[in-house]
């Protein structure tokens, strides 16, 4: 039962879901921040940052380029990461230039794309937890937003995402998907890239 729960947590809070989850949280608490990314555009974000990359990874799986969706083998991670980086970069350009999101949202999209790029490069030499990096990146965003908007309810989102990150990272450890070091490095990378981007440029 516990193993099934941990698998469910890993699936539901998959790294590719993090952009959608981030914008759902912000839209619920600070809707003016993500304007004009309203409810109408959120499905588009979900399609471009989750469904299309997922189909791309599926194509690699069925073509034999990778052995599993979980990308357990470090040497199989570069190609999927490469395609996901391209998908995210295209999405970022579209949201910034075509939809004309505000500067903060644009920086969050840039940071997310940069995080995937860094993960891709690290994976050439070392296996790191993508789940930990993804969910910790959301924590980094919420932390910085809580500093920028102290009178908002973002602090509650920060607490929620910290608890969520703990659950996700615990699930990866329980399932023996990563070592504690791989989890820790992923966590630090996610927070540093996402918090750091907003801190320096916003």
Helix (H, G, I), strand (E, B) or coil at 7: helix
Could you tell me the pTM of the whole model? 0.92
- Over residues 32-78, the pLDDT tens digits come to 887 766 677 788 889 989 998 888 888 877 877 776 666 777 777 88
Mean pLDDT calculated for residue range 6-16: 88
Model confidence pLDDT, tens digit, residues 82-124: 989 998 999 999 988 988 888 888 999 999 999 999 999 998 8
- Domain coordinates in residue numbering, the chain: 2-201
Give the number of residues written for the chain: 202
Phi-psi region of 176 (alpha: psi -120 to 50; beta: other; left: phi over 0): left
Distance CA 185, CA 136 (A): 11
Cβ proximity of 105 and 33 under 8 Å: yes
What pLDDT score does 8 carry? 87
User: What does the pLDDT read at residue 194?
Assistant: 96
Using the predicted structure, report yes or no on whether residue 4 has a pLDDT greater than 90: no
């Amino acid at each position: 039962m516990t193993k099934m729960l941990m698998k469910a947590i890993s699936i539901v809070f998959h790294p590719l879901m993090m952009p959608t989850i981030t914008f759902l949280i912000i839209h619920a608490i600070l809707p003016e921040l993500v304007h004009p990314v309203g409810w109408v555009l959120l499905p588009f974000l979900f399609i471009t940052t989750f469904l299309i990359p997922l189909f791309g990874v599926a194509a690699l799986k069925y073509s034999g380029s990778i052995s599993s969706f979980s990308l357990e083998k470090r040497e199989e991670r570069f190609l999927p990461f490469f395609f996901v980086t391209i998908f995210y970069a295209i999405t970022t350009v579209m949201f910034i230039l075509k939809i004309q999101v505000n500067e903060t949202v644009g920086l969050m999209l840039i940071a997310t794309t940069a995080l995937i790029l860094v993960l891709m490069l690290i994976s050439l030499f070392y296996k790191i937890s993508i789940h930990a990096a993804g969910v910790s990146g959301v924590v980094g965003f919420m932390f910085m937003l809580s500093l920028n908007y102290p009178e908002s309810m973002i602090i509650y989102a920060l607490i929620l995402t910290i608890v969520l990150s703990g659950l996700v990272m615990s699930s990866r450890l329980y399932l023996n998907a990563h070592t504690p070091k791989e989890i820790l490095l992923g966590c630090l990378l996610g927070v540093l890239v996402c918090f750091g981007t907003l801190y320096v440029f916003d």
